[in-house]
Structures are given as structure tokens and as C-alpha cells.
Amino acid sequence: MTETLYSLDVVARNGVRFTVVLDLDGYWYQKKHYVTGPIVEFYDARNKDNGDRCHLPGNRRHDWSMFGQFTGAAYDLGTLLERNRNFGLNLAGDVDAWNIDAHTMLIVHAWVEHLTARLPEIDSAEVFANV
């Protein structure tokens, strides 16, 4: 299976660097449900180069050097885009550093919207129907 992934590195106002990944294939096991279609995943990019291995959504395995440490946060594309944009995003309640402020989330939203408007693999009408 070939995956179609796009990534963006951002630095939140708390100084933590994150890699945001748009996965067009969208395999992610969440509460006994597979999300099909595009998903957005968040990684702590401070761990990109440590060389360890980790498990990622859908039982994929990658070096952390590819994206960083998976934060556990993955969202269906439509769900992410319909969020109130005046707020940040807490990626994991038990890790203080894994918070993205509202300004940085605006950058993430703009990037995702820019990509989805230009990629033929995504049915933009369907993604934005509920936004």
C-alpha cells in the first residue's frame, strides 16, 4: 500500500516544534473505529533525530527521524477544519508541552486548507460540507 503524506513543521509559542502530517489514506484506529479518508496527525518534532522506532497509527512503523514522536493526536480532516479557530489545541492532556496555541493553529489550518483546495485526491466539496 502506498501512502500519500504531506508534512508541515511549526513551532508553537511555547517553543515546541511540531510536525503536522496530512495523511490522505487515513488509517487510524480510534476507539474501535477506523477513520477512512484524510486525517491530520501531530508529532513532537523535537524527537525527529533520535533514531528510535515507534508505532504509528494503523500499525505503521517509521523511524522517529521521519516526523518525530507521535503525540496521540489525529483528527479527521473535516473535524479539524470545523474547530473554532480562536483556540489552540491540547494534543495530550498529560503532556504540558503538547499544546499548540491559537496563532500556530491558524497556520496549520491555512496550510491544510491550501493543500486540500489543490489536491485532486481530496473531494473538497465533501470535506468542507460541514465546515
Q: Give residue 59's domain range.
A: 5-125
- Flag whether 43 is in a domain: yes
**Tens digits of residue pLDDT in 110-119:** 999 998 888 7
Q: Is residue 97's pLDDT more than 80?
A: yes
- Flag whether 73 is in a domain: yes
What's the Rg (C-alpha) of the chain? 14
- Flag whether 131 is in a domain: no
* The pLDDT of residue 34: 62
- Flag whether 130 is in a domain: no
* Sequence-distant (≥ 6) Cβ neighbours of residue 22 within 8 angstroms: 5, 6, 7, 38, 39, 40, 77, 112, 115, 116
Cα maximum dimension of the chain: 41
Our CA angle for 5, 99, 103, nearest 5°, is 80
- The number of folded domains in the chain is 1
* The pLDDT of residue 128: 42
**Tens digits of residue pLDDT in 25-72:** 766 555 555 666 788 989 999 877 665 555 445 545 444 557 888 888
- Flag whether 81 is in a domain: yes
